[in-house]
Structure 1
Amino acid sequence: MDGDADIAATAALFADPARVRVLVALGDGRALAASVLAAEAGLSAQGTSSHLAKLLSAGLVTAERSGRHRFYRLAGAAPELLETLARFSPPRPVRSLREGTRAEALRTARTCYDHVAGRLGVTLTAALVSHGALITVDGDPTTARRPGDRISAQLPDHPYALGPSAATVFGALGVDLAAASSARRPLLRFCLDWSEQRHHLAGALGAALTHRLLDAGWLRHRAEAHRAVRLTDAGSAALGEILGI
């Protein structure tokens, strides 16, 4: 017979700042080689391998071999767990302009696994609602947190559905709604954004929208080392024209 969940064992994995940097480096959904993770986390190859072994054993990451290299990716509920811990964790002291800029960049726009989060993510979602691409079905027309929503977590149940203008709006954005609808994962999922505490679009549709923004050059990663993204001039103009943001 199994006893109670060993929460302390899992929590201990997040108690090491270096190991957390490895997890954060994987937080945008990329599959990265150990050498790349070492560079992003500022660790030695030996230290990175040790951390990855513990994360693999705990089921927080998976590994896939391609040629001579193994590529690591977040697994299971690890993305949700990272976002939740970020919400409940105090900000680290900013010791330089570079660190301050990075922290603000993450709050402005970042990837939450494979979809856009931060101020940009919640603004996009609100604009989709206001333009009828999405509708709420619970009587609250906003994207605000609902009673019972878990902070910084994907919502098990959400109050949204496709709206009457979904095909028109997503078509104008260049998103193939039919292809997204045929994906194995749910079309519509939503997260409660940890930095904004409003809903942002996730699921197959959120991933398709994010891929489109990146492919069109409307959104770009700020640096290889973290999840922050930026809206380009072309993206700002396009989203302004299509969604009024």
Structure 2
Amino acid sequence: MTDQGEADLSVIGAALSDRGRCRMLMALDDGRALPASMLAAEAGVSAATASAHLKHLRAAGLLEVVASGRYRYYRLAGDEVGRLLEQLARLSPAQPIRSLREGTRAHAMRLARCCYDHVAGRLGVALTDALRDRGHLVEEPGLDVPRPRGRFPDDATYLLTPGGREALTAIGVAVPEAVGVRCCTDWTEQRHHVAGPLGRALLDTLVDRGWVRRTPRSRALRPTDDGRAALREHFGVPWPPPVGVRRLPA
């Protein structure tokens, strides 16, 4: 056995240094597996360039291949890659909007989107606020997370109360056995949304019950008419979700 040195961040940095590769990664940040042709279109590059990009991303450990017959699909190599992308998105400047189409897409993404395997955007934080306000989620006792002024801590753990478990189970959410709930900071809203196993179960329920629909070529989520009624009935969340920064206790 040989000793290993410090982590080589340059491998990940080099993989993320190309805008086309970054676009491919962000297109996969809803947990889907997509073919190379769709990722090439997302990145705006040729098939040959896309193949080189995908090889680079796989070598860096950011992507994995899923085979289905003679077809090959690509997806993120685990939820840690999704979390990395969200953290980097929070630190990165926004790209300029140059067309009505880009503006429409950006607005839809901010309203509601998939963040790897859970709900993000204004809808994600509104659902999390509703669970907190109703006492279904409470901060874990003894949790000591620094709170920068005016912002939530980056990642934090909450506890799901018995009442919260009962309420979510009643609407069909397959609530995990663990009472700890991970919340991460939404990169567009700078506020918490529920992540982890409970976030995954909540998204699955919204999709399975037909309350939200995935969009074919975007991570955006769109509520159905039944979904808008259900969001208001079960969570008190209107559509579009409210805008505003939650005030933290002093």
> Scaled by the length of structure 1, what TM-score is found?
0.85
Counterpart of 2:232 in structure 1: which amino acid? G
Can you list the C-alpha shifts for 1:168-219, whole angstroms capped at 9, x where unaligned? 3102322122xx338xxx9622211111222111111110110110111111
Can you list the C-alpha shifts for 1:113-140, whole angstroms capped at 9, x where unaligned? 0100111101101111222322223489
Closer/same/farther in 2, CA of residues 203 and 96 from structure 1, 3 Å limit:
same
In structure 2, the partner of 1:92 is 95
Is this contact kept in 2: 1:174–1:212, CA < 8 A?
Answer: yes
Counterpart of 1:75 in structure 2: which amino acid? A
> Is 1:216 aligned to 2:209, yes or no?
yes
1:37-116 equivalence runs, <5 A: 37-76=39-78, 77-116=80-119
Counterpart selection for 1:181 from 177, 185, 193: 177
In structure 2, the partner of 1:225 is 217
Q: Which moved more, 1:3-12 or 1:230-239?
A: 3-12
In structure 1, the partner of 2:230 is 238
> Is 1:136 aligned to 2:114, yes or no?
no
Counterpart of 1:192 in structure 2: which amino acid? T
User: Structure 2: any 5+ residue segments left out of the alignment?
Assistant: 238-250
Cα RMSD (Å) of the superposition? 2.6
Aligned length: 232
Counterpart of 2:44 in structure 1: which amino acid? G
Counterpart of 2:177 in structure 1: which amino acid? S
In structure 2, the partner of 1:143 is none
Closer/same/farther in 2, CA of residues 139 and 242 from structure 1, 3 Å limit:
farther
In structure 2, the partner of 1:126 is 129
Q: Aligned partners of 1:167 and 1:11: how far apart in 2?
A: 41
Closer/same/farther in 2, CA of residues 50 and 195 from structure 1, 3 Å limit:
same
Counterpart of 1:229 in structure 2: which amino acid? L
In structure 2, the partner of 1:36 is 38
Q: The residue matched to 1:165 in structure 2 has which SS? A: helix
Task: Please state how far the C-alpha of 1:235 moved relative to its aligned partner.
Answer: 1.1
Q: Aligned partners of 1:45 and 1:166: how far apart in 2?
A: 48
> Scaled by the length of structure 2, what TM-score is found?
0.83
Q: Aligned partners of 2:70 and 2:141: how far apart in 1?
A: 52
Q: The residue matched to 2:162 in structure 1 has which SS? A: coil
1:188-203 equivalence runs, <5 A: 188-203=181-196
Closer/same/farther in 2, CA of residues 30 and 153 from structure 1, 3 Å limit:
farther
Q: The residue matched to 1:123 in structure 2 has which SS? A: helix
Task: Please state how far the C-alpha of 1:154 moved relative to its aligned partner.
Answer: 7.3
Percent of aligned positions that are identical: 52
Is this contact kept in 1: 2:152–2:192, CA < 8 A?
Answer: no
In structure 1, the partner of 2:18 is 16
Q: Aligned partners of 2:43 and 2:171: how far apart in 1?
A: 35
Can you list the C-alpha shifts for 1:27-69, whole angstroms capped at 9, x where unaligned? 1001122223223333322121111111111100111222001
Q: Aligned partners of 1:7 and 1:212: how far apart in 2?
A: 37
Is this contact kept in 2: 1:133–1:166, CA < 8 A?
Answer: yes
Q: The residue matched to 1:181 in structure 2 has which SS? A: coil
In structure 2, the partner of 1:147 is 146
Is this contact kept in 1: 2:211–2:228, CA < 8 A?
Answer: yes
